[in-house]
Structure formats: C-alpha cells, structure tokens
Amino acid sequence: MMEKKRIVEEGLLEQYLIGDLPLDQQLEVEQLLEKDASLRKEYEQMEASFEALAFEQSITPPSEVKDQLKTVIEKKSSNTYQKFAFPIAAGLALLFGFSTFWMFTKWQSTETDLRNLQNQTSSLQSRIQSIEDSYQTVNANLENINNGQVIPVVLYGNQKAPGSRVVAYVNHDQKIVFVNPETLPPLPADKTYQMWSDVEGEMIDMGLLDSKKNLIELKYIEAAESLNITIEPAGGNDHPTVSELVSYVTL
C-alpha cells in the first residue's frame, strides 16, 4: 500500500487526475482515496481547480461539430435498432412457422371432418333412397289394395292353421290379386303354402305363398268360384293335395 505522504510528495495524485498512472498505481490511489477522507478532500479540490482552469481556457468549438456528432449518434442509435432486427425477424419467422404448422394441422383435421361429413351425407342419401323405394312400394301396395275396385276377401284357417286370417285383395277390373299371408303359421323347409282358384270344379294354380311376406301378387284366374290354400311340397305342386287344405272362401 502506498503511503499518503508518498502519493502527495511524488505528485501521484496529479498524475492520477489526468489519467497518467499505470493501472496498478491507479488502483492503489483509488483505494487510498476511498479510505482517506483528507486525501479525498485534497483530490476533490484539485479536480475543482482543474475544471475551473479548463473553463477559463475554454474555446467554443464550431457549431458543425455538434451537428456532426448528432448525425453520428443518431446513426449509431439506428444501428442499435438494426442489431435487434435479426432477433425480431427470427422471432416473427418462428411465430409464422408455428402458425403455419397450426394452420396445416387445422387444415388436415378439417379435411378429415369434411371426408367424414361427405361419407355421412352419402350414407344418408342412400338411406333416403332406400326409404323412398320402400315408400314407393308401400304406396303402390296401398294403391293396389285400397281403391274402390278392390274386393277384400278373408280366408280363415282351419284346424291345420288355427287363428290365421289370410286376406286376398281381388280386382276384377284390372285382373290382379294381392294376398297377405302373414298370419299363416310357419312351415318346415320342405313344405310351402300354395293358392288355388276353383273354376268349374278344376283347381287352377295361382302361385306360392311365403308367410314371411306381407303382400304377394298372385295370378288372377277368370271366373274363379272359390279361393283355396293347401300345404304342398316345397316348390309347389301341379295338383292340390286336398287333404292338406288349410283354408278356403267362396267368391
């Protein structure tokens, strides 16, 4: 540590004032100035004199120096903004990247949703078509059995088909017959119901009855006197098996 006396006598304070000391001595002077109030006061007076002297010897610089300084400083400030330009641009690019990715994901998800919707729409369309077809059929059936020219006839089942009520809708004008055989009891796979018309004592085949269906169109036979249902081998028979008569009605 330097002695205060040495600092004063060797003029180190004066050298420190103008920045003329090597770094190690400069630091030692600074440490001593911090600790020694009287040395500090002496240095402050020296600084005051030094500054006062400078103002006495001052020379006003041309105004252009300040103008140039402003130009340089303001250019440097704008450079400072330029320093931030890259991080800002990078940040924006990153943000743009994320938002693009998000948009892409959203787009993909929307595509999937759209495909699902299209599939659903297509499924709905086919269901509507199917319902329309059913409606057409039902409507047509209703037309066939529910007009003024149709005569409904009921064939009650005997002991072979107790409780069954087969309805035959006969249209003599249009020469068509529809039968609802739903109430006939189910038969083994090798048997079937068959319907016959009695014309002058001869039984003429009208067709087979599938008891699973609710309305079947059969052949219209002219001048039929009665309608008869028998049980026959699967595929039907040429002649009715009279012993297997299930029901009949006289027209």
Q: Which residues bind another protein (CB under 8 A)?
A: 8, 10-11, 14-15, 17-20, 30, 33, 43, 45-62, 64-66, 68-70, 72-74, 76-77, 80
Is 10 or 111 the residue whose CB approaches another protein more closely? 10
State in angstroms the smallest separation of the CB of 12 from another protein: 9
CB of 9 vs another protein, minimal distance in Å: 8
How many Å separate Cα 35 from the centre of its chain?
77
Which residue, 52 or 117, has its beta carbon nearer to another protein? 52
Query: What minimum distance in Å lies between the beta carbon of 41 and another protein?
Result: 12
- Bridge partners (DSSP) of residue 203 are 198
- The answer for residues whose C-beta is within 8 angstroms of residue 25's C-beta and 6 or more apart is 2, 12, 16
Least Å distance, CB 17 to another protein, is: 6
Which CB, 83 or 212, lies closer to another protein? 83
Helix ranges, the chain (H): 4-9, 12-17, 23-35, 37-56, 63-145
- Assigned token pair, 80: 């400072």
Query: Interior CA angle at 160 toward 159 and 166, to 5°?
Result: 95
Residue 187: DSSP 8-state: -
Nearer to another protein, 25 or 237 (CB): 25
